[in-house]
Structure 1
Amino acid sequence: MNPVTLPDAEWFDLAPPGGGVPWRIFLARPQGEAPAAGFPALFMLDANAGFATFAEVLRRGAVRPQATGIAPMMLVGIGYPEGDDARVRRHVDYTAGPGAEDSARPTGGRDAFLAFIEQVLKPHLAARFPLDPARQTLFGHSLAGWFTLDVMTRNSAAFRSYVAVSPSIWWDEARLVEGLALARKRPPRLSMLVGEWEQALAPWQALRPEAGEMAARRARRAMVDRARGFADRAAAAFGPAAEVRFELMAGEDHASILPSAMARALRFALA
């Protein structure tokens, strides 16, 4: 079998200073000459699960930017080497501590992970590519969406724009709300997207054997209500100088929303 490769893409492993467990970094490089300030960049979390899809959405959209609203930019995916238990590592990286539905998995690596992005990954990329530090976006889905919102509230200068898709606000909603009250120098840009069927069963799920358990979990987590409520709180906290968008995506659930949200995320990042 011949492997399929992505044009203008690469990956490498990058570890924190002094060694330690590395992260796997995926890059989709833009074509053409960089703008004077450098290319904008979108940093995608959980890259093992969707980087190729995101890169293709970007590549195809950038062919006709006048029609799509998508222009060349750097796509940076952050994931994990093969053999690592990504579910365990992401549970550590994306959380500041135990959540509302705590499990036996370890938590609390949020600060170390953000430090890696800010102090290791970004300087590494800046040394290789002309990137615009004023046009960088953080993109996260599910628990990575919770991390995205937490960075926005407590370290808002890390990125200019934030895209949280189906964010697991239920994990620790109190911390996110508390973060909105913290002082910040510049109101960030925020886009929140959640699927229509994330708080109730979709028609094709209603007859599944586990339908009752699924319905109870979705009602408890209240993904749609929490996302809409947090967007309202963020708009009120940041004031008219901020740009806060909320979109309920028809026909999508927690899994299917991701490909549908990618083009919207790219347009928001480039706006």
Structure 2
Amino acid sequence: MTASINDRREVTIPLTEQRVMRSRAGNEYQISVAKLGEKPPPSGYPVIYLLDANAVFGTMVEAVRVQARRPEKTGVGPAVIVGIGYRTAEPFPPARHYDFTMPVSATELPPRPDGKAWPEHGGAEAFLNFIEEELKPMIEREFKIDRTRQTIVGHSLGGLFVLHALFNKPGAFRTYVAGSPSIHWNKQHILDAERKFVSRLEHENIDVRILLAVGELEKRHKSRVHDNARELSERLSTLASRGVRVEFKEFEGEDHVSVLPALISRAVRFALSR
């Protein structure tokens, strides 16, 4: 006997909503928001701003929703998750290339595997301004947010953008999670920004936490994704006395894409546990 199906309905992610937001620069974003916890802690909700929401927003929401049930065991409590994505079903749409990268000449770009031209790039500064000046104020009008517990999470080119934000506006977030950052894409820019960041620490107090994470199998990546991230973590670890705390994590048996679920789970605990 064949089972009967009487009712089919669209599946949604519990406790979430979506809205479309157009930036002052004219770029359109699909913003996904999840409030996980019936009422905020006295100081307000910690908040995670998640890049590439088209690919991993659901993964992060479920990671928080499940772990927050037993905060005494997991260290994960109520939080607001803000996913920044695009109006498409594609997990990694071309528009991310523009938002996550800094300007660089075509001759400096790495060759694309399929031989085609890369999508437009160079919009990282405008994207960071959008997050700081437009998105954050909107979220803070709607939710009681603890501004001392703000996190940004990105992977690959998103991880590159996280480093851009860290080095150029370190006070924007307390916690920075850069998974498999594509440092090779804008390597000279990142190295220059890192030097300026180190210099400003000589006369500026700071309190930031940084998670740099890669998959073990990324050691084979010709762009040195693994080595670049590890070497950066070693340099930044020397700044502990200046308020910079760094953790480097290698996920066993994972590559550049398969690392994502493990990265999201670790990022949640890194961001939300005190």
TM range (shorter): 0.7 to 0.9
Q: Does 1:136 align with 2:150?
A: yes
Per the alignment, in what secondary structure is the counterpart of residue 175 of structure 1?
A: helix
Match of 1:118 in 2: 132
Q: CA deviation at 1:239?
A: 3.9
Match of 2:9 in 1: 2
- Contact 2:180–2:214 (8 Å) recurs in 1: yes
Match of 1:224 in 2: 226
Q: 5+ residue gaps in structure 2?
A: 1-7, 112-116
Among 167, 183, 196, the alignment partner of 2:216 is 196
Q: 5+ residue gaps in structure 1?
A: 201-217
C-alpha distance in structure 2 between counterparts of 1:109 and 1:85, whole Å: 20
Among 226, 246, 256, the alignment partner of 2:258 is 256
Per the alignment, in what secondary structure is the counterpart of residue 153 of structure 1?
A: helix
- Contact 2:180–2:212 (8 Å) recurs in 1: yes
Aligned-pair Cα RMSD in Å: 1.9
Q: Deviations over 1:130-162 (max 9, x none)?
A: 011111000000000000011101111111110
TM-score (norm 1): 0.87
**Which stretch of structure 1 is more off in the superposition, 4-13 or 101-110?**
101-110
Q: Quick one: structure 1 residues 255 and 236, their matched pair in 2 at CA, closer, same or farther if it must change by over 3 Å? A: same
C-alpha distance in structure 1 between counterparts of 2:212 and 2:161, whole Å: 13
Q: Quick one: structure 1 residues 239 and 232, their matched pair in 2 at CA, closer, same or farther if it must change by over 3 Å? A: farther
C-alpha distance in structure 1 between counterparts of 2:180 and 2:163, whole Å: 11
Match of 1:71 in 2: 77
Q: CA deviation at 1:199?
A: 2.2
Residue pairs, 1:131-210, within 5 angstroms? 131-182=145-196, 183-184=200-201, 185=204, 186-200=206-220
Per the alignment, in what secondary structure is the counterpart of residue 122 of structure 2?
A: coil
Match of 2:51 in 1: 45
Q: Does 1:101 align with 2:107?
A: no
Q: Deviations over 1:147-197 (max 9, x none)?
A: 001110111111111001111111122222221222153142100110000
Per the alignment, in what secondary structure is the counterpart of residue 2 of structure 1?
A: coil
Match of 2:246 in 1: 244
Per the alignment, in what secondary structure is the counterpart of residue 172 of structure 1?
A: helix
Per the alignment, in what secondary structure is the counterpart of residue 217 of structure 2?
A: coil
C-alpha distance in structure 1 between counterparts of 2:40 and 2:259, whole Å: 31
C-alpha distance in structure 2 between counterparts of 1:171 and 1:160, whole Å: 25
Q: CA deviation at 1:238?
A: 5.7
- Contact 1:42–1:137 (8 Å) recurs in 2: yes
Among 56, 64, 68, the alignment partner of 2:62 is 56
Match of 1:210 in 2: none
Q: Does 1:80 align with 2:94?
A: no
One-letter code of the match for 1:191? Answer: L
Q: Quick one: structure 1 residues 195 and 237, their matched pair in 2 at CA, closer, same or farther if it must change by over 3 Å? A: same
C-alpha distance in structure 1 between counterparts of 2:178 and 2:213, whole Å: 7
C-alpha distance in structure 1 between counterparts of 2:193 and 2:143, whole Å: 33
Q: Quick one: structure 1 residues 249 and 86, their matched pair in 2 at CA, closer, same or farther if it must change by over 3 Å? A: closer
C-alpha distance in structure 1 between counterparts of 2:73 and 2:177, whole Å: 22
Match of 2:269 in 1: 267
- Contact 1:180–1:234 (8 Å) recurs in 2: no
